[in-house]
Amino acid sequence: MENVYLTIVLAPLLGAIIAGFFGGRIGRRGAHSVTIAGVGLSTALSLLVLARFIWGDLPVYNEAVYTWMVSDGIRFEVGFLVDRLTALMMATVTFVSLMVHLYTIGYMADDEHNWPHGALTGKNSYQRFFSYISLFTFSMLMLVMSNNFMQLFFGWEAVGLVSYLLIGFWSTRETAIFANMKAFLVNRVGDFGFILGIAAVGMYFNSMDYAEVFAAAPAHAETQVALFGGVSLMTLICILLFIGAMGKSAQVPLHVWLPDSMEGPTPISALIHAATMVTAGVFMVARMSPLFEMSETALSFILIIGATTALFMGLIGLVQNDIKRVVAYSTLSQLGYMVTALGASAYAAGMFHLMTHAFFKALLFLAAGSVIIAMHHKQDIREMGGLRRYMPITWITALIGSLALIGFPAFSGFFSKDAIIEAVGHSTLYGSGYASLLLTIGVFVTALYSFRMYFLVFHGTPRMDEHTRHHLHETPWVVTVPLVLLAIPSVVLGWLVIEPLLVTNWFATGDWNPIVVAHDHDTLHTLREHWHGQWAFVLHGMTMPPFFLAMGGLALAAVVWWFTFAKNPKIDDQLQAMGGPVTKVLQAKYGFDDFNQKVFAGGSRMLGRALWLGGDRAIIDDGVVNGSAHRVAALAQRARHLQTGYLYHYAIAMIVGLVGLLTFFVVL
């Protein structure tokens, strides 16, 4: 199987290299054909691997493919760990990525309009974009399939780097540059914690290999680190690793990069925020479950951060008017759900939601992108309305996506979200009550903002200008086919996979169990014990508060933004005005951005300036660097005169050298 796994990883890389380096020569067709072929091959093979895990008896693969170097007994390797958890992730990542590739053909078709006339960076931008998204897929696969911390870190950083390139893809736009810099810097903060965590693992376990570290972990359960007056090693490692996850999976307070990253082209919003980058953190925590299970403190921390993100980010979604930003805040909120599930030790539920979310969120992003294409790159939902008549496929698929998102019964989101809420309800950790409450309210908010957007965009009277409306039509097949293909799993996936994932612990293969849950953390046990099939789960769910809250939100949204809006188009603004200070706070996004901008950015700039003037220019530049450079140059000029060109000088130098060595080593 090694060759299959290598092909899965390397095919997108090869496509990226060809499209990136030879994009000018092979042209647009060549670039998208080669990258789609690469990702398509990966997808097919990933699905094959998944199928063989489901219906066959494929053994777990955990081998090093290449030893990069060995230092002080720690082996740095490139290796793959492919078990059912990985296979699930691989299939999700490659499938969504393939859809995004297809969709990009349509979305980026007229990309030259997005560049200033004659801009050099706009040359071959189409090919470059394909190269980037393929490279992104490669990075993500490296991260997911890794069997050791080093490769995990490589994938982690590679994903960060490519996301930087993608968010700032339209590099002539100020806002895009700002957004990608922000994403990069915020991710660096997370990565800092992450690499410290990895370093701690390396230091105490003397290994980078997952299996070895997991096996050795119980021995370190009681180890204390003399830091802040003594913390448990496991807590330290887990919290540090989780800080990395907070960066990638955009958890409060490291979430600020995600909404801004909507500056990138829509396909990458779908790729980054649905299936790949943001799920990296969730996946990583699930993968590390044997470590996280050993620290209740870390789990509580995760629980609280996740729940906070889930509710409060959803609230901001209510006051956003940019179609992509609404979806972005909903992503933040849903990530909060996943992370909360992890905190409640319901890793399986987190992964379950990650998977269903990957499909319906990709669907929503791509639908939003479809709308944006039709609207000639206008993104303000206040200027839309009534689009369902012009774009039936987009309309239906967006409706399916929204229903899945709010957890409408029997849609995929319903199963995963209900499972999470139930699991968190059973958790006994510190903060679980808080988390449970926030998640439940979050359901209402989710329904409200999702359908606010839905109604404003697709229903009511068209509010766009005459010219745009005249040109409104359904988008081409490369856009709609991915929508349809994503809509199908958005509906049925939850129904299909809830039983294996949550009830029968499908993840375990033989004696290898990637998801380890300590006995008293097992919050999914009631769900397992009272499992009577999907129908029963749906019926049971329909008697629970989350269902009523979701329906309430949906109904409220319908009342306000469908019925009332038709008569009183000012209702949205009036409601926001009624909110008063609350609206202000939400519109300011709780002030995170301003705070970062003033305190961190401003402060570090000030500090930097001071250091630059005092330290760098005065001491280092004038003193050390230039000073020593001058001295070196002078010395070099003098030393070159040693070489006279006379043979006997050379000979005597050798003799003197001989005498010197003899005197020093023999006589003395």
Partner 1 sequence: MPFDAANLFPILPEIAILVTASVVLVLDLYLKEKDKDINHTLTLIGLLVAIGLTGAVGGGDARVVFDGNVVRDGLTDLLRGAILVVSLLAFVYARPWLKDRGLFVGEFYVLGLFAILGMLIMVSANSFLTIYLGLELQALSLYALVAFDRDSKKGAEAAMKYFVLGALGSGMLLYGVSMIYGATGSIEFGPVAQAVAEQGMDNKVLVFGVVFLVIGVGFKFGAVPFHMWVPDIYEGAPTPAVLLLGSAPKIAAFALAIRMLVDGLEAIQPDWQGMLLILAVLSMGLGNLVAIAQTNIKRMLAYSTISHVGFIFLGLLAGSAQGYASAMFYAIVYAVMSTGAFGILLILSRKGFDAENLDDLKGLNDRDSWYAAMMALVMFSMAGVPPTVGFMAKLLVLESVVRIDLVWLALVAVAFSIIGAFYYLRVVKVIYFDKPDPDMPVLTTSGGVRFAMSLNGLSLLALGLFPATLLSWCQSVFV
Partner 2 sequence: MGFEKFLFYVFATITLVAAGMVITRRNPVHAVLYLVLAFISSAALWILLEAEFLGIVLVLVYVGAVMVLFLFVVMMLDVDIATLRAGFIRYLPIGALIAVVLALEIFLIVGPANFGLQQFPAPAPAAPGVSNTEELGLLLYTLYVYPFEIAAVILLVAIVAAIRLTLRRRSDTKYMDPAQQVRVKKGPDRIRIVKMPSERAAVPAVAASAAPQESTE
Of residues 607 and 655, the one with the C-beta less far from partner 1 = 655
Binding partner at 66 among partner 2, partner 1, none, C-beta below 5 to 8 Å by kind: partner 1
Query: What is the CB-side half-sphere exposure of residue 462 using CA atoms within 13 A?
Result: 15
Cα 196–199–200 angle (5° rounding)?
90
Whether residue 328 contacts residue 179, with contact meaning beta carbons closer than 8 Å, is answered with no
d(CA 636, CA 127): 49
Q: Which of 226, 225, 329, 245 is nearest to 285 (CA)?
A: 245
- Binding of residue 610 to partner 2 (CB under 8 A): no
| Angle at which helices 84-107 and 2-21 cross, to 10° | 20
Of residues 625 and 656, the one with the C-beta less far from partner 2 = 656
Q: CB within 8 A of 88, min separation 6: which ones?
A: 50, 351, 355
Q: At 452, list the tokens.
A: 């606010």
Of residues 215 and 629, the one with the C-beta less far from partner 1 = 629
User: How many residues bind partner 2, per CB under 8 A?
Assistant: 10
Site for partner 2 in 626-665 (CB under 8 A): 648, 652, 655-656, 658-659, 662-663
Binding partner at 651 among partner 1, partner 2, none, C-beta below 5 to 8 Å by kind: partner 1
Binding partner at 657 among partner 2, partner 1, none, C-beta below 5 to 8 Å by kind: partner 1
Of residues 55 and 665, the one with the C-beta less far from partner 1 = 665
Binding-site member from 120, 636, 647, 666 for partner 2 (CB under 8 A): 666
Whether residue 187 contacts residue 247, with contact meaning beta carbons closer than 8 Å, is answered with yes
Q: Which of 222, 207, 121, 236 is nearest to 170 (CA)?
A: 121
Binding partner at 645 among partner 1, partner 2, none, C-beta below 5 to 8 Å by kind: partner 1
Of residues 226 and 639, the one with the C-beta less far from partner 1 = 639
Whether residue 509 contacts residue 59, with contact meaning beta carbons closer than 8 Å, is answered with yes
Of residues 69 and 667, the one with the C-beta less far from partner 2 = 667
Q: Which of 3, 78, 17 is nearest to 45 (CA)?
A: 3
Compute the least distance from the CB of residue 666 to partner 1, in Å: 5
Of residues 221 and 661, the one with the C-beta less far from partner 2 = 661
Site for partner 1 in 146-175 (CB under 8 A): none
Q: At 381, list the tokens.
A: 């939902």
Binding partner at 639 among partner 2, partner 1, none, C-beta below 5 to 8 Å by kind: partner 1
Q: Is 119 left (phi over 0), alpha (psi -120 to 50) or beta?
A: beta
Binding-site member from 3, 69, 227, 510 for partner 1 (CB under 8 A): 69
- Amino acid 137 reads T
Q: For partner 1, what does the binding mask look like between residues 606 and 645, x meaning CB under 8 A? A: -----------------------x--xx-xxx-xx-xx-x
Instruction: Return the bridge partners of 82, or none.
Output: 61
Part of the chain binding partner 1 (CB under 8 A), chosen from 25-33, 363-371, 414-422, 654-662: 654-662
Q: Which of 144, 87, 458 is nearest to 277 (CA)?
A: 144
Compute the least distance from the CB of residue 642 to partner 2, in Å: 16
Of residues 227 and 647, the one with the C-beta less far from partner 2 = 647
d(CA 232, CA 26): 56
- Residues found near partner 1 in the complex (CB under 8 A): 66-69, 71, 629, 632-633, 635-637, 639-640, 642-643, 645, 647, 649-651, 653-654, 656-658, 661-662, 664-666
